[in-house]
Amino acid sequence: MKVLSCKTLKWLSVSLVVASGCTPLKKFQFGDTRQSAASYHTTLATQIEYPNVRSSLQPEVVSTPQPLTIENPADLQSRDIELDEAIQIALANSDILRSLGGSVVSTSALGSRTVFDPAITESNPLGGVEAALSAFDTQAAGQLFWNVNDRPNNIQINPILQQFQRTAYQETAATFNYELAKRTATGATFSARHNIGYSLPNTPNLAFNSAYVGWFEAEYRQPLLRGAGVDYNRIAGPGAAIGQYNGVLIARINTDVSLADFEQGIITFTNDIETAYWELHFAYHSLEAIVAGRNSALLTWQRIRELQKVGVRGGDAAAEAQARSNYYLFDVNVREALTGVNGLYAAEQQLRYLMGLPPTDGQLLKPSSQPMEGEVVFDWNSALRDALTRRVEIRRQKWNIKRRELEMLAARMNRRPTLDFLGRYRYRGLGDSLIDSRDPNNSFNSLYQNIFEGDYQEWQAGVEFGYPVGLRQASAAVANARWNLAREQSILQEQELKISHDLS
């Protein structure tokens, strides 16, 4: 029976302690042991928590005055504002392009357009222009390792040759590798490498007890079929998989599409401001007209009451009741025109929201611009031509078509086998030391002396070939690109038809 050594027992004890320390003494439970898994999820896992983020409330929001109530707007201080001023204030206060039809408070805020969108698209680390250009940046990589080898040899020691034989191979070694690689727009890759290996073995009959082995190497790889050419690498990007198009041209089109979306948001936002401005203008005039009607109804009622008092014709009870009813009806309409859903206060608050102003500030905004009066005559052909060429929706869709055309071109280029030319040249060396003064009598005095003397040179040239039989994935990518292009062209035709209908 074998007896365990003290060292073995010590490591066994440590292992048992660690294993027991990682094992809980009892099953982990939340709260009462009688809680079931369902009760845990209903009481703990679904608790509402609030994120701790660095944010501060805006002073103008916190100090918002009390909303306006039913009172005479003539008693409130008014602020005359022109349409151009309203648009200018709104654009200056709007990082978010507000819309009366949407709400940034709900989850629809994810689709809100902001002034940051073009910059976000441009700086996208996956599809932005700089990200696409980074594929052509010089890449540096290096490794540095030390290791000790101690391996038993499966040999029978010969007494005669025992001084040349070792029962174990022992070595102290180190390796250093460094590489610089640069990819070009044609798909070619230039690489420069430097490798150093150090070895101190117990092997007899060596020229040096320890030696340095290393080389300088230059490599050139040029795709000849798939992946070759400036057009392909600017569309799909170098080394792109089939169906992935992340080149510089695609990234720039994404930026142009984002700019078109931003421009469309500005146009819609400005149109909403103008609409809200003229609705407020109408609310003021509507209120004035209803107030005038109420005053007229009041005078009529008062006149009929005077006739009723003196008992003359036209002062009967039915006429007085009718006049009184008309007055109260106009009074209700005045209140509705002032505080109703489509009243003056609501229209003024909508304009304030679009302008980025507080809901109330003790003043009523009052439009001072007047609608343009006069006959405007448009030339139909000129208007139609401008609509079909200058509308931002048309320009955006044409960018989408351009993207699909480039994707189609890259997809067709992917229907080629991989054929790369490879050339490599190497200066190799061996030395007793890494760096030392040059010894003309011993070229192996140092590694770098031996390398720079150029006595040992190697080269390699050839081609690498790869071909997926059937080209099924590449053919599917071509078909997909063709259908995407057809879809975008159909959308453009539909947009042009809709614009012509809207214009007519």
Backbone CA torsion sign across 122, 128, 130, 133: negative
Domain ranges of the chain: 129-253+398-503, 269-372
Q: What is the pLDDT of residue 1?
A: 40
- Residue 358: C-alpha distances to residues 59, 62, 279, 452 (Å): 10, 10, 19, 76
Q: What is 345-356 written as a DSSP string?
A: HHHHHHHHHHHT
Closest CA to 385 of 375, 398, 396, 394: 394
CA angle 140, 145, 148 (to 5 degrees): 165
Task: Tell me the two tokens of residue 502.
Answer: 């809207």
What tens-digit pLDDT sequence spans the chain (504 residues)?
A: 444 455 565 566 656 555 555 555 445 454 555 556 666 666 666 777 777 777 666 776 666 777 666 666 667 788 899 999 999 999 998 888 887 765 555 545 556 788 889 999 999 999 899 999 999 999 999 999 999 988 777 776 666 665 666 667 788 999 999 999 999 999 999 999 999 999 998 877 787 888 999 999 999 999 999 999 999 999 999 988 999 999 999 999 999 999 999 999 999 999 999 999 999 999 999 999 999 999 999 999 888 888 877 777 766 788 888 889 999 999 999 999 988 888 899 999 999 999 988 888 888 899 999 888 888 888 999 999 999 999 999 999 999 999 999 999 999 999 999 999 999 999 999 998 888 877 778 878 889 999 999 999 999 999 999 989 989 999 999 999 999 999 999 999 999 999 999 998
Residues paired with residue 367 on neighbouring β-strands, in sequence order = 81
| Cα–Cα dist 430/101, whole Å | 77
**Residue in 323, 331, 330 with CA at minimum distance from that of residue 303:** 323
pLDDT of residue 2: 46
The answer to whether the beta carbons of residues 431 and 383 sit under 8 Å apart is no
The two three-digit tokens of residue 351, written as one number: 């304009």
Q: 156: which DSSP letter?
A: P
**E strands in 249-320:** none
Q: For 402-417, give one letter per residue: b (16+ CB within 10 A) or e.
A: bbbbbbbbbbebbebe
| Interatomic CA distance for residues 204 and 229, integer angstroms | 54
Report whether 430 contacts 450 (CB < 8 A).
yes
Picking from 217, 208, 174, 214, the residue whose alpha carbon sits closest to that of residue 195 is 214
- So what's the pLDDT on residue 19? 57
Burial 118-152 (b: 16+ CB within 10 A, else e): beebbebeeebbebbeebeeeeeeeeeeeeeeeee
Mind giving me the DSSP string for 40-72?
HIIIIIT------------HHHHTPPPPP-SS-
